[in-house]
Structure 1
Amino acid sequence: MTIILASTENMPYDEWLNWRKKGIGGSDASVVCGVNRYKSPVELWMDKTNQIPYQEAGEAAYWGNQLESLVRTEFTKRTGIEVNLTKKLLQSEAHPFMLANLDGECIHPIHGKCVFEAKTASAYKVSEWDDAIPDEYMLQVQHYMAVTGYMGTYIAVLIGGNTFRWKFIERDEALISMLIQLESDFWKHVQDIIPLPLDGSKAAAKFLGERFPNSISASKTKLPDTAIKFIQQYENACTNVNKYSEQKQEAENQLKNMLGDNEIGTVDDRVVAWKSISQERLDGKTLKTEHPRLYKKYANKTSYRRFSIKAAM
């Protein structure tokens, strides 16, 4: 059974964002499962618990929205299957934390009413659509089928602006069962404001910085034995970072040498640029020396916590 939470027709964008925080949407499913390439579970948790400000969608998301109607029209043109718009925010009655905002609905000759999902993708991702669909979209459409109870989804994609493909995805009960469990566990963390296990995302680092902004006690504390594993992980990563940083710098130096006085070079499908950029910056050191009072008046005092690992004396 599906509940209609709200009509999204003419809904202000800010209001739509607030509704999204009342549960887990289809695009959140891959984040909860830890397979999203652009967002971590910790960042999603912080978003749902109102701990990070809204971030404007990037160019890819913007054009994806703008081209949605074109993809829908082309799908109907190629398949003869009509797509009905559903401007509603849906909620699963069995699992109220699961929400769905569908691009549309259509009819399958065997499975009946189905989900329709429109996508756009970079030309570099064309291979991901050869035999299947990307994992994050598979989780998204299975999430939608969990909410609606539908048995299938038509998904259509415009790749690189000139390649169109569409596929029919059947309902996967095993995958839906896994999704429900993972999303249920995640939503408990949201409802109870219990932080998720920390990962390596910037969102996790931001969360720690805001939770412990200053060191209060200068005394030593005994860390648990599990700290050894993370110290080794940190030190190994530092070693690899240094190695790869040197390799990165070598490659950069070689390419700069090839460019010489030229600003832009091309090879295969890559564009290498070494542009001249002029900037004006305040010379704080000179200002402090020649005009100390003025410097003191406008200088901002900041504090931060420096992290390091070294051998005990």
Structure 2
Amino acid sequence: MSLGTNLDYSPSVLTDTEGLTEEEWLSYRRLGIGGSDAAAIMGQSPFCTKRDLYYDKCGMKPVLDEEESNWVAKEVGHRLEDLVAEIFSRKTGLKVYPIRKMFKHPLYPFMLADVDFFIELPDGSTGILECKTTNYNCQDKWANDTVPINYEYQGRHYMAVMNLNVVYFACLYGNNENEFIIRKMDRDLETELILIEEEENFWLENVQKKVEPPYTEKPDLVLESIRRFCGPAEVDADEVKLGSTHAKSIEKYLELKEKKSSVDAESKRLESEMKTVYAGIVEEMGISCKATLKTGTENYIVTYNPVYRTGIDKKNLERLKLQHSDIYEDYVSVTESRRFSVKKGAA
């Protein structure tokens, strides 16, 4: 599969997006791969696995239909798109405009693009503008003139579909126009071809053939995906007889657990030794939270700050449940986590 040197193409329009409902828009998205899907296919999404994306494209809903924990951040990002575009335009002097259509690649029709905004560049050519928002503490993800990897793949996907050579990212991370990041990314055909190959393989070999892709992502992301699609634990469910293929995994787990126990024991010993070392300093500080020490060559600042946690202890929680069950039911929620354990016994 190769584009070769033929870059003389224009995207076709899949549908107008003006006036589409959220569900209608999502149904069109499931007809192919969008820009925000690209990172998951490349194993670089911080939010979902390739398996999650596969389930979505096949119309399979998770068993645990939970409220998204980051729904506020997503809604803020959506509502501030126009503002971010306006700030970008004011800072750069470039004309920015939307085209409310969903496009598809003429050579790879499974590749879709619903672009935030387009840019009229000084040389008369067209660029892409992707508008982002983040919080103040996450601005380091854009450090050293970089673009977060998941956004990079999104931009490269859009350039491929639209046959355009530049994409700008504009990110607002504060509440004024100076807390604003602008990054420019040029087209890279070599990286683009790799991305197209991966997307084509995913679409043809997984989605079209209904073959689940393997889990290859970070374990926390994988375990959350499994929990979401398998559902909550059932204590009375039948015991599962594992196949012999899992034997090596169990032995490896036990080996790592033993190593971790050794490391944890050493960590506890060092923690105790550290407390012994600083106990005299704490005694001298008394109720103070800060102390300083100056030597001939160094200045030290010591803090011993309180940490407050608000909660209800187990005894009072039971009392609340018994005496004020209406309040208890309204304000106490139960979340599930599961603990993996292996005990080695005789065969």
State the alpha-carbon separation in 2 of the partners of residues 74 and 206 from structure 1: 39
* 1:186 and 2:221 matched: no
Q: Which residue of 1 aligns with 2:51?
A: 42
Q: Which residue of 1 aligns with 2:17?
A: 8
Q: How does 1:1-313 map to 2 (within 5 A)?
A: 1-49=10-58, 50-52=60-62, 56=68, 58-110=71-123, 112-129=125-142, 130-162=144-176, 163-187=179-203, 188-199=205-216, 200=219, 201=222, 202-207=224-229, 215=238, 223-224=244-245, 227-236=246-255, 238-239=257-258, 272-277=307-312, 308=342, 310-313=344-347
Q: 1:128 to 1:111 in 2, by over 3 A?
A: farther
Alignment-mate amino acid for residue 78 of structure 1: K
Instruction: Deviation per CA, 1:6-50: give whole Å up to 9, x if none.
Output: 111121111111211111111111111111112111222122222
- Indicate the SS of the match to 2:160: helix
State the Cα distance separating 1:141 from its structure 2 match: 0.3
Instruction: Deviation per CA, 1:219-253: give whole Å up to 9, x if none.
Output: xx7623xx3442244335545776669979x89xx
State the Cα distance separating 1:308 from its structure 2 match: 4.2
Between stretches 53-62 and 168-177, larger displacement belongs to 53-62
Give the count of matched residue pairs.
276
Alignment-mate amino acid for residue 211 of structure 2: I
State the alpha-carbon separation in 2 of the partners of residues 161 and 271 from structure 1: 31
Question: What is the root-mean-square deviation of aligned Cα atoms in Å?
Answer: 3.8
Q: 1:54 to 1:142 in 2, by over 3 A?
A: farther
Sequence identity (%): 29
Between stretches 273-282 and 14-23, larger displacement belongs to 273-282
Structure whose alpha-carbon radius of gyration is higher = 2
Query: Scaled by the length of structure 1, what TM-score is found?
Result: 0.74
- Segments of structure 1 that go 5 or more residues without pairing to the other structure are 259-266, 287-303
Instruction: Deviation per CA, 1:245-300: give whole Å up to 9, x if none.
Output: 9979x89xx9xxx9xxxxxxxx99x995400348866999x9xxxxxxxxxxxxxx
- Indicate the SS of the match to 2:145: coil
- Segments of structure 2 that go 5 or more residues without pairing to the other structure are 1-9, 276-281, 283-301, 323-337
State the alpha-carbon separation in 2 of the partners of residues 55 and 7 from structure 1: 29
